[in-house]
Amino acid sequence: MRKLAATKRNNRAVFRFLGASVLALAPVGFVGAQTVVPSNAKALCAVAPTTFASWFVSGKPSLNGAVNPADSIKFPNQNDCNFYNWSAQMFLWLTSPASGAYGSKGFVFTSPIFYNVSGLSNGKRTYSQNQPDNPLPLLNVRAAQAGEHGLQLVTDKNGQIFEVVPATQAENGNSLLRNAAGKMIEIRRVEEQPGKKPKFFDAADKEIVQPKAPKLDTTLALRVAPQLATATPAEKKNFVQGFQVNGEVVFVDSNGNTIDPTQGQAGGLSGVLLAQDQSLVYYATMVNDVYAFFQTGTVNGTFPSGPSGYSFFPTSAQQLTPVLRYAASKGSNLPDRVALTMELKTSWIDTAGLPALGLKPSDFITVTTTVPVYNRSNPKLWIPTSQTKQVNLAMVGMHVVGSVAGHPEMAWATFEHVTNAPSSGYQYTNVQGGTSSVPQGKAGKWAFASPTATVYNLQKANYKAAPNIQGQTYKDGTNTYVTDITPSDTLRSKAWGTGSDASDFVLENTEVISSDSSVLTQIAKGDVRANYIMTGATWTIHGQTVQNPPPGQTQPNNQIGTNLLNNTTMETYDQGIDARSNGSNCFSCHANGSQPAGQPANTAVSHIFTTLVPLYPKSN
């Protein structure tokens, strides 16, 4: 996994320990449980006070003060700390109160320099520019992870990730299968075992005789995702077909065998997450204006593509220049140009139920927006009504993704609220040079875990019958049952984005913890941003192409940083089956499998890039 481990150690920047951080670091005012960043970690990635002060527009830390974007064009690109501290500064900038070029309402990331990205409809997404009085559109209730070809994902219990091509369905939701005579037959029952060919049965409980073992229906696949026409044979091995039978989904791989998925994947099994107060979790995807104008110019042919027809996110002033010219021709001066291209994903819950959990809405970044109203009279099936309601939402998670000098694959970081969920046990290097161990987080009033939780990350709801939300289907021996739609208990399986059997995991934990500790020590007391922590960041060696995992492996082999990174509110059910290894990561999905190894990563790492309708048609 870490081919350059020795080199990386030699290149790491080691800073003097900040004495102030020996104090316990815990946000003020919480009644419920919370994640506490260790205060005695060796200061491998501490931010010097003069550097931290320079982040602020005023030149010194101030309460909820405006922060400058990190200069991604001048990104040092020397060691891990550069990436972690870039991530921290970007988060503080994005969540700064809007001022100056960003307007006077809301936050930087809800200002008009950011565009909301719609969900996928008929293979396309659309931009909508943030409006100060209504910064977020009607939000989605799930965060389905898409693969390189825009299809949802499922992970088997060996950690291998597949893209899912759905089978043709009858009106009642059951899948259809072509029999030996070429007729499409509805599947009413299935007998399946992992690693073996399944048997499908019709309404008369007779086995459906097929012309051959069920494999990927190429005709259907091309209709669902035309881009599969260019998929290589190696990529096609990473597709499975999903057959739905009476609420249960059976996944069949390219060899016609059933795979054994981990329960509750956010992609293939369409996980829906609820907070402990029954609030649905809502999601929004955004990009900044640099991304929007670069994508528009690229799709319209204004900017030439790179070698072999690929495009590359700008990582230098020279590469940014044509984007600036194009934006200027449309009346925009891109005030955040030094940030280069950025993509965000955020997660939210209703503030109304927070007091019952011992939490205060004022301790969260909040926005007012509109959400759908569901009829919840049936505990196993919630149906959306024609009504919507205006609510105050609290941000519980944010993915921060952006291109930086030398890294067109972009740096991928994630942040969470400290009251989201307990963490698994972990280790780090303390200031004395020894190893400190922290046990699994204790029970308490978390937003996503009950005080009596004993089983974690068990999905209780899904969006497979969209737009309805339904209880999750499980098997208990030969019996099948459907859960009520209720909150599940969540655990952050990899506390700082690394598994405990990963190479250098203690060192990586220490770097992330020390970056967090340094920022939290220096930020003004009472600043709402101090209630969020970075749990890791990842990138690739020399910004090269993100390769699909080799056979038998679950992670790309040129990925570094925190290599098992997940957010408990966005990849809740993609964290794998244990705290040591397994599970997905950003680059498990955002790969460039069709691009030769050793080449710069291209825009395929962003799954929304080719599906977005440009801001302006080509003629303009």
pLDDT over 90 (residue 186) = no
pLDDT of residue 253: 81
With a CB cutoff of 8 Å and minimum separation 6, the contacts of 237 are 253, 254
Reference 617, options 300, 287, 305; nearest CA is: 300
Q: What confidence category does residue 145 fall into, taking pLDDT thresholds of 50, 70 and 90?
A: low
Whole-angstrom distance, CA of residue 174 vs CA of residue 201? 12
Question: Helix (H, G, I), strand (E, B), or coil: what is residue 299?
Answer: helix
Question: What pTM was computed for the model?
Answer: 0.81
Q: What is the pLDDT of residue 20?
A: 28
pLDDT in tens, 314-371: 999 999 999 999 999 999 999 999 999 999 999 999 999 999 999 999 999 999 988 8
With beta carbons less than 8 A apart as the criterion, state whether 397 and 285 touch: no
Residue 108 has pLDDT above 90, yes or no: yes
pLDDT at 97 over 90: yes
When the pLDDT of each residue in the chain is averaged and rounded to a whole number, the result is: 82
Residue-level pLDDT at 245: 76
Tell me the percentage of the chain whose pLDDT exceeds 90: 45
Residues present in the chain in total: 620
Mean per-residue pLDDT for 486-513?
87
- pLDDT for residue 537: 95
Q: Once rounded to an integer, what is the mean pLDDT over residues 126-132?
A: 90
User: Who has greater pLDDT, 269 or 267?
Assistant: 269
Q: What is the pLDDT of residues 154-185, one digit of tens each?
A: 666 665 667 777 677 776 667 888 888 888 88
Reported as a single tens digit per residue, the pLDDT across 464-479 is: 777 788 898 877 767 7
**Can you tell me the mean pLDDT for 20-41?**
59
DSSP state of 347: E
Candidate ranges 10-24, 161-175, 258-272, 365-379; pick with highest mean pLDDT: 365-379
User: Containing H/E element for 568?
Assistant: none
- Helix%, strand%, coil% for the chain, nearest 5: 20, 25, 50
Residue 266 has pLDDT above 80, yes or no: no
CB 436 within 8 A of CB 557: no
In this model, does residue 392 exceed pLDDT 80? yes
pLDDT band at 263 (very low <50, low <70, confident <90, very high): very low
b/e per residue 383-422 (b: at least 16 CB within 10 A): eeeeeeeebebbbbbbbbbbbbbbbbbbbbbbbbbbbbbb
